[in-house]
Copies of this chain bind each other. A is one copy, B any other.
Amino acid sequence: MKIQQLSKEIGIGIDTLRIWERRYGFPIPGRDARGHRSYAQDQVEALQLVKNLMNFGLRPGKIFTLTEQQRRAQLQSLLDQGQPSDKRLQRLIDALAPQQIAQAITAMREELGLHRFIQEIAVPLLQLLDHRWTTGNISIAREHLLSDQLEKLLKTELFAPTNTDHPQLLFLTLSGERHKLGLLLAAAAFNSAGINCIWLNEELPLSEVPGLAHELGVAGVALSFSSHYLPRQAKQDLGSLRKQLDQKIKLIAGGHAVHQFTSLPNLLICTDLQLIPQLVRRHFNDPRVTPSN
């Protein structure tokens, strides 16, 4: 595997990979006939482990002093601090046929109502999926099937009530951010709090956002930045967006990459879906703060 593929696969810059090799002596790839780096599969996995630890906030300097066993143990203990898994979720994950998954999901949604469904099923399910994913404990196919069905349900919810009013919030991810499910949950939550949402399924370059937001006349733009998005980049993007965007248009950001941001001026950071109703009450339901003013 060439350095570019690896960089894309793991989500670590090429320069970073090279300087890690120089500084920490890891990973040390083989070389092909040209002298170019060539990474073996076990190096890829070892590097994924490092990346997973970094996603928990550990820094390279710490990680690279550990042995591989210690890294595994560390990751495991960090993962174990997560919430215990629910039996219903367990059943969902084990079901393979899409029909079964779809049935189970819709049944739960009927039983609990949208709000409780999001809080009690969807959010923990996403976390559990992420957990299994980082431990390699679920097949990619299963994971995809499941998130597919969840996405389908949420979109149905989101688009079902053809909203009478003009759109208020535009939901999208920036180019390079491929994790949309969390944002979709947020959109559903906003929707159930009475906000009229527009969902843009495809990733958009930063520069296109202000124009679109303006043309659609939305009152706000909501973005999410997953753990694969470099926090620094996210900060920069948000800053840039805030500058380009009309001051009246609210900017809402969520996701792991913005988790520890001290809130920038005129920017709402929302890393907990439970806070959405409150956020809506504060910033959207006040008649004096409608999009028209």
Min distance, Cβ A159 to any Cβ of chain B, angstroms: 7
Q: Which of A135-180 contact B (CB under 8 A)?
A: 139-141, 144-145, 147-148, 151-152, 155, 159, 167, 175-176
Q: A8-B175, A176-B8 are in contact. Are A139 and B211 (CB under 8 A)?
A: yes
Cα(A209)–Cα(B141), bound, Å: 8
Chain B residues with CB below 8 A from A152, complex form? 155, 159
Min distance, Cβ A93 to any Cβ of chain B, angstroms: 14
Cα(A9)–Cα(B240), bound, Å: 14
Q: A141-B212, A159-B152 are in contact. Are A98 and B201 (CB under 8 A)?
A: no
Min distance, Cβ A221 to any Cβ of chain B, angstroms: 12
For this complex, 24 residue pairs linking A to B, each with C-beta atoms less than 8 Å apart, are A8-B176, A9-B205, A9-B206, A9-B207, A96-B215, A97-B216, A98-B167, A98-B198, A98-B216, A139-B211, A140-B205, A141-B200, A141-B211, A141-B212, A141-B215, A144-B201, A144-B204, A145-B200, A145-B212, A147-B202, A148-B200, A148-B202, A152-B155, A152-B159
Minimum-distance CB pairs A-B, first 3: A141-B212, A144-B202, A141-B208
Known A140-B208, A145-B212, A152-B159; 20 more pairs at CB < 8 Å: A8-B176, A9-B206, A9-B207, A96-B215, A96-B216, A97-B216, A98-B198, A98-B216, A139-B208, A139-B211, A141-B208, A141-B211, A141-B212, A144-B200, A144-B201, A144-B204, A147-B202, A148-B200, A151-B201, A152-B155
